[in-house]
């Protein structure tokens, strides 16, 4: 019986890894999230999952740091969900050989597209979804967490914050002492290299593939070059009898100044010393480790659900920050990777709708992301495409896209379908849809009503 | 007393420069009578200072002062004004749903750049909402838990006086129904914040 159960579990873990790439439900705090991650946690980290009583925000609530308080209060920090549990399990594995560190830190997921990680003096480590989406193996993640633990072990956050406070007082720059994030993004090169060394050491003793540290570092510090939704793909995505993509593309292509060329670094990434110096130092450390000839296995497969979740959470994070061009770009890129994903179709629709609303009010610039350089692909191309469209073209494009995709059975998408129909067709229709919506949506008849109306 | 306060704040507003700009949906008058209970989302208070390579900073203490003001306003207006959470307890639904709603309201309310629009200066204007500002339909579920479809949110920016934006969303209709933007050239003292809040909700509830 046990044997057959074991076979069944193994079979299931190979046949169905527990998550679908055709939809996505946002991670919920204190609740189970992804089945795939649950399965992975149970399989690999059972003994390392923190007890439920530990999964709370007490340390963060007690934090005197105003910035952290705001992140928590605004729901930007995940806790008690499968993704946070997973990160904590990796962290626990890293410190298994250093029992004195246990219970001195806690890893949280910070929902933002900015690729970074922060460690606070109280042991709170925040890893952003932007960073998680860039990585591609568990070992790369282990390096990130190991590096942050290195900062904590060496008390870098405490020293750096104290130093900044002192300077702030000295020059009466009260605003500088207020933002610990800015301060903690400015460690000295020496601090960073010390943390790298500890990260590698922890990875080695926990059996992670320390060679992945080099890739991890490159991914943290360089723009993400994996973003390349092609022009052909964009044309295909927005193809519709209602809308002529070709005419717009010609305009967009000629508008070269709107293009943002990939750059080596940007403001959000200038927190680390020059990449090359750190890479050389890391290579030297790894060369010393390799003499011990430890066998390490490839763990990129285990990272697949984490990457998927991080990508989807990034789309939500940029949407809720009002960065609709970024959220649209990430959704389009996502749909290229995960075709027919209902969540992505919904997010493209919502973002197009908001961009069209901004454009309608002559305020599109407000919805465009200021810092574009974290993407090394063709972010500028998507942005130029949206910027070049006239108000009416953008409305038509939005209407066409939602109309072409709304029969997915998603009730929320149907709501947007009705809304864009009003927006596109005029205010007369608006009243009809809204009054019907008010009366019938609760009973679930609204979707049917809109479908019939639009046929 | 109320009238006096209103006159006082009007004096402070226009006497020292500034503006009040109100937009509401056309059927707002009929909705006003139904607003026995408003769920108040956690206010935000930003301090904006340039020059030190650092722009925004939150002021937690001021936010706490504003939160307390709501309780007093509730008594003054005889309407229930309930904070959605005290911000210190761990209510998963609050973080999973209410905070998303707050962010969507912020997006919907941020579509106009009131701050840099000089045409409002020195005036009080009231207009119908020109743009339909929608929020996701899945917040309908919150109505049952909180006992009201009306959620309000205010944020303050301290920079050359105080800029305040108050937004009311109707989660049953899934849209923004009321917005008030104002700038008052006063300091961010407790009494001034109290007056600004009172003035905003006085306009919301009485159309004056």
Return per-residue pLDDT of chain A as tens, 455 residues: 555 555 544 444 433 333 567 777 777 665 555 666 666 666 665 555 554 544 455 555 555 566 677 777 777 888 777 888 889 999 999 999 888 888 888 888 999 998 889 888 888 899 999 999 999 999 999 999 999 999 999 998 888 777 776 665 555 444 444 466 666 767 778 888 999 999 999 999 898 998 899 999 888 877 776 666 555 677 778 887 777 777 655 554 444 434 344 343 444 344 445 678 888 999 999 888 865 555 666 788 889 989 999 999 999 999 988 888 889 989 988 888 888 888 999 899 899 988 988 888 888 877 776 666 666 556 777 777 788 888 888 888 888 888 788 765 667 777 777 777 666 766 544 444 555 554 555 444 455 555 555 55
Helix (H, G, I), strand (E, B) or coil at B81: strand
Q: CA dist B121 to B5, B182, B200, Å?
A: 22, 9, 17
A169 touches chain B (CB under 8 A): no
What confidence score (pLDDT) does residue B40 get? 93
Where are chain B's structural domains?
2-206
Nearest alpha-carbon partner for B109 in B53, B177, B46: B177
Q: What percent of chain B has pLDDT over 70?
A: 80
Q: Which of B92, B97, B106 to mutate to test the interface with A (most CBs of A within 10 A)?
A: B92
Restricting to A residues 201-240, those with a Cβ less than 8 Å away from any Cβ of B are none
The two beta strands, B18-24 and B124-128, are parallel
As a whole number of angstroms, the distance between CA A27 and CA A32 comes to 8
Q: Measured between CB atoms, which of A176, A358, A412 is closest to B111? A: A358
What does the H/E/C string look like for chain A?
Answer: CHHHHHHHHHHHHHHCCCCCCCCCCCCCCCCCCCHHHHHHHHHHCHHHCCCHHHCCCHHHHHCCCHHHHHHHHCCCEECCCHHHHHHHHHHHHHCCCCHHHCCCCEEEEECCCCCCEEECCCCEEEEEHHHHHHCCCHHHHHHHHHHHHHHHHCCHHHHHHHHHHHHHHHCCCHHHHHCHHHHHCCCCHHHHHHHHHHHHHHHHHHCCCCCHHHHHHHHHHCCECCCCCCHHHHHHHHCECCECHHHHHHHHHHCHHHCCCCCCCCHHHCCCCCHHHHHHHHHHHHHHHHCCCCCCCCCCHHHHHHHHHHHHHHHHHHHHCCCHHHHHHHHHHHHHHCCCCHHHHHHHHHHHHHHHHHHHCCCHHHHCCCCCCCECCCHHHHHHHHHHCCHHHHHHHHHHHHHHHHHHCCHHHHHHHHHHHHHHHCHHHHHHHHHHHHHHCCCCCHHHHHHHHHC
Nearest alpha-carbon partner for A353 in A381, A378, A319: A319
Q: Which of B43, B96, B97, B130 to mutate to test the interface with A (most CBs of A within 10 A)?
A: B96
As a whole number of angstroms, the distance between CA A146 and CA A141 comes to 8
> Residue A397 is encoded by which pair of tokens?
């494009």
In which residue ranges of chain B is pLDDT below 70? 1-17, 49-56, 86-92, 112-117
B112 touches chain A (CB under 8 A): yes
B10 touches chain A (CB under 8 A): no
Q: Measured between CB atoms, which of B90, B96, B131 is closest to A57? A: B90
Where are chain A's structural domains?
20-225+264-302, 226-261+323-394, 409-455
Ramachandran sector of residue B25 (left: φ over 0; alpha: ψ -120 to 50; beta: rest):
beta
How far B79 CA lies from chain A's nearest CA (Å)? Answer: 25
User: Chain B residues with CB inside 8 Å of A176's CB?
Assistant: 52, 54
As a whole number of angstroms, the distance between CA A158 and CA A14 comes to 45
B42/A73 Cβ within 8 A: yes
């Amino acid at each position: 019986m046990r044997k057959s159960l074991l076979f069944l579990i193994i079979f299931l873990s190979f046949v169905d890894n527990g998550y679908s790439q055709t939809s996505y439900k946002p991670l919920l705090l204190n609740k189970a999230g992804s089945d795939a991650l649950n399965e992975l946690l149970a399989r690999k980290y059972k003994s390392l999952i923190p007890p439920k009583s530990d999964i709370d925000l007490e340390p963060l609530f007690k934090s005197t740091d105003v910035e952290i308080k705001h992140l928590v209060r605004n729901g930007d920090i995940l806790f008690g969900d499968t993704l946070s549990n997973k990160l904590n399990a990796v962290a626990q594995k890293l410190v298994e050989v250093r029992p004195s560190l246990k219970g001195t830190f806690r890893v949280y997921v910070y929902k933002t597209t900015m690729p970074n990680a922060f460690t606070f003096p109280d042991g709170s480590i925040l890893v952003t979804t932007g960073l998680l989406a860039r990585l591609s193996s568990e070992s790369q993640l282990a390096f990130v967490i190991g590096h942050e633990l290195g900062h904590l072990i060496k008390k870098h956050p405490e020293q750096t914050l104290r130093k900044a406070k002192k300077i702030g007082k000295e020059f009466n720059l009260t605003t500088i002492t207020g933002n610990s994030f800015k301060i903690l993004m400015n460690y000295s090169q020496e601090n960073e290299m010390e943390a790298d060394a500890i990260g590698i050491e922890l990875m080695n003793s926990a059996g992670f593939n320390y060679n992945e540290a080099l890739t991890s570092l490159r991914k943290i510090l360089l723009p993400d070059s994996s973003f390349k939704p092609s022009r052909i793909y964009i044309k295909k995505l927005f193809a519709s009898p209602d809308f002529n993509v070709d005419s717009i593309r010609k305009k967009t292509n000629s508008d070269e100044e709107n293009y943002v060329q990939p750059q080596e670094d940007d403001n959000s990434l200038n927190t680390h010393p020059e990449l090359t110096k750190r890479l050389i130092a890391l290579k030297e450390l790894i060369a010393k480790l390799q003499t011990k000839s430890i066998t390490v296995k490839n763990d990129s497969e285990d990272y697949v659900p984490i990457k998927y979740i991080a990508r989807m959470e990034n789309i939500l994070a940029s949407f809720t920050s009002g960065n609709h061009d970024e959220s649209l770009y990430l959704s389009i890129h996502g749909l290229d990777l995960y075709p027919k994903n209902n969540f992505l179709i919904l997010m493209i629709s919502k973002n197009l709708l908001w961009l069209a609303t901004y454009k309608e009010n002559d305020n599109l610039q407000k919805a465009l992301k200021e810092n574009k350089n974290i993407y090394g692909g063709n972010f500028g191309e998507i942005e130029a495409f949206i910027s070049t469209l006239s108000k009416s073209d953008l409305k038509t494009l939005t209407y066409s896209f939602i109309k072409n995709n709304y029969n997915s059975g998603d009730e929320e998408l149907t709501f947007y379908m009705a809304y864009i129909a009003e927006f596109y067709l005029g205010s007369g229709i608006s009243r009809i849809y809204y009054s019907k919506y008010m009366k019938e949506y609760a009973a679930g008849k609204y979707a049917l009503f809109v479908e019939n109306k639009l046929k | 007393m109320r009238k006096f306060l209103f006159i006082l704040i009007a004096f402070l507003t226009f006497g020292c420069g500034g503006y009040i700009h109100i937009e509401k949906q056309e059927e707002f008058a009929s909705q006003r009578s139904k607003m026995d209970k408003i769920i108040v989302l956690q206010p935000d208070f930003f301090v904006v200072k340039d020059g030190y390579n650092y722009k925004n900073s939150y002021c937690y203490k001021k936010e706490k002062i504003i939160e307390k003001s709501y309780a007093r306003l509730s008594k003054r207006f005889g309407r229930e004004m309930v904070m959605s959470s005290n911000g210190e307890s761990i209510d998963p639904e609050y973080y999973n749903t209410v905070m998303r709603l707050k962010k969507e309201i912020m997006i919907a309310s941020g579509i106009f750049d009131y701050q840099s629009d000089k045409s409002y200066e020195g005036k009080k204007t009231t207009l119908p909402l020109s743009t339909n500002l929608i929020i996701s339909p899945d917040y309908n579920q919150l109505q049952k838990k909180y006992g009201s479809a009306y959620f309000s949110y205010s944020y303050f920016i301290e920079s050359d006086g105080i800029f305040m934006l108050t937004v009311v969303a109707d989660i049953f209709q899934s849209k923004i129904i009321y917005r008030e933007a104002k700038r008052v050239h006063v300091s961010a003292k407790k009494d001034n914040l109290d007056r600004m809040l009172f003035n905003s909700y006085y306009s919301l509830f009485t159309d004056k």
